[in-house]
Amino acid sequence: MEGTPAGRRAPASADDPRIRRLQRAALVVAGLNLAYFFVEFSVAAAIGSASLMADAVDFLEDAAINVLIVLAAALPLATRALAGRAMALLILIPAGVAAWQVVQKALEPAPPDVLALVVTAGGAAVVNLVSALLLSRHRTTAGSIGRAAFLSARNDVLVNVAIIAMGLVTWLTRSGWPDVVLGVVIVAIAVHAAWEVWEAAGEERLLAKQLPRA
């Protein structure tokens, strides 16, 4: 489409049926993420895992993002771009929590319970994979907010796999330091995802200025 930044498809308009399908998918994903937040938070607190605690907070952030999608997907493009930038900042919340947990864990790097960690991270991977599959077909529908939800779910699957691998390393080394290192990785992934969404929202803002006003 003329006026669309290179490499980006113009997001669907507010009255597009694809918006309603995105909203339904986002509502399901929000429910899944909120439910598993309570599971993972409880386990993380019980076994003292910094990486699992950061991932639990990320589930809460994902639930919030998808609720915002339900509310904002049908908004005009310019407003949608602002919502996308707000979500980019929201993605940084678990990064801050993870950074705090890393500091706390580094002061006392006791290894977490490996079996509970691996089982919980495996369940989280399933939830995030289902979420990513539900959102993958909608990642260009609503521009930056659809991209925000898909990127967050996709990255979370990678994080969960990394937590499982870290659990195996912890079992071999009997050290809490792998948990600390993974916390740093979670921070880096969150910051990168936030930057991608921020850039997409900026492109939407430019596109909104180019579109003819009604």
Domain assignment present for residue 6? The answer is no
Short-list 19, 29, 30, 33, CA closest to 72: 19
Domain assignment present for residue 12? The answer is no
Q: What's the CATH number where 133 sits?
A: 1.20.1510
Which pLDDT score is estimated for 212?
Answer: 61
Which pLDDT score is estimated for 211?
Answer: 64
- Do 56 and 44 contact (CB within 8 A), yes or no? yes
Which pLDDT score is estimated for 118?
Answer: 95
**Residue 26, pLDDT above cutoff 70:** yes
Domain assignment present for residue 117? The answer is yes
Q: Which residue has the higher pLDDT, 14 or 98?
A: 98
pLDDT in tens, 107-147: 888 888 999 999 999 999 999 999 999 988 877 665 666 77
Q: Which residue has the higher pLDDT, 114 or 84?
A: 114
Q: Where residue 170 falls among pLDDT bands split at 50, 70, 90?
A: very high
Q: What residue spans of 73-143 are helical by DSSP H? A: 77-107, 114-136
Domain assignment present for residue 190? The answer is yes
pLDDT in tens, 181-202: 887 887 777 777 778 777 777 7
* Angstrom distance (rounded) from CA 205 to CA 15: 19
Domain assignment present for residue 128? The answer is yes
Total count of domains within the chain: 1
- Do 205 and 80 contact (CB within 8 A), yes or no? no
Residue 199: give the domain boundaries: 17-208
Short-list 97, 162, 94, CA closest to 125: 162
